Amino acid sequence: MQPPPRESAVLILVYPLNGIDHTLLMRRPVYKGVHSGQIGFPGGKREPGDRSLRDTALREFREETGAATVEFQVVGKLSQVYIPPSRTVVTPMVAWAPALGAVHPDPHEVAALLDVPVGDLLRDDILRRKSIPMGIAGMERMAAYWEVQGQVVWGATALMIAELRAILGVPLPPLPKCGPVDK
């Protein structure tokens, strides 16, 4: 019998930048692991000192981005997502802040930060599909993804974006038809 999956949390922060609501995504560094080079919301595993998954999301956001989170207001959470390759259950927390403030990303955990206007995530033309490497012995799977600032956002993060869109009243666009697929 396998042990229960590990708990983790990510933070979907909404903050104004030049009068437009933004959120922050990060690209993980390339390493030998299942999430190498992937795009996601800042977050990570719950640690024994975390009183709640809310605390986990805020702590991981601070550790990965270097941003001060003292003015962040957690306003809710999205549905938990199970990620089989890492045997993790992720709870996405949604927060608002009057500003992101200075960031100093941890280079061991963050290859790049992406300031993304929330409106860009609500556009229908960013939904794509292609064959995506699964990180397991060269396996690939056809998957839907969001193209955000030229980056492939798929898997659990794509599900979180889809749920965020639904909460904001923006339905999913039709999945691109069968035929030519992005490579």
Domain borders along the chain are: 6-167
Number of other CB atoms surrounding residue 29 within 10 Å: 16
Fold of 6-167: Nucleoside Triphosphate Pyrophosphohydrolase (3.90.79)
pLDDT of residue 34: 60
Say if strands 88-96 and 6-17 run parallel, antiparallel, or are unpaired: parallel
SS3 for 142? strand
The tally of CA atoms less than 13 A away on the side-chain side of residue 64 is 26
Angle made by CA atoms 135, 128, 77, in degrees to the nearest 5: 75
Structure tokens at 115: 């300031």
Number of other CB atoms surrounding residue 33 within 10 Å: 13
Low-confidence ranges of the chain (pLDDT < 70): 33-37, 134-138, 177-183
pLDDT of residue 181: 46
Q: Whole-angstrom Cα distance, residue 25 to residue 58? A: 14
Q: Whole-angstrom Cα distance, residue 73 to residue 172? A: 27
Strand partners, 96: 14, 73
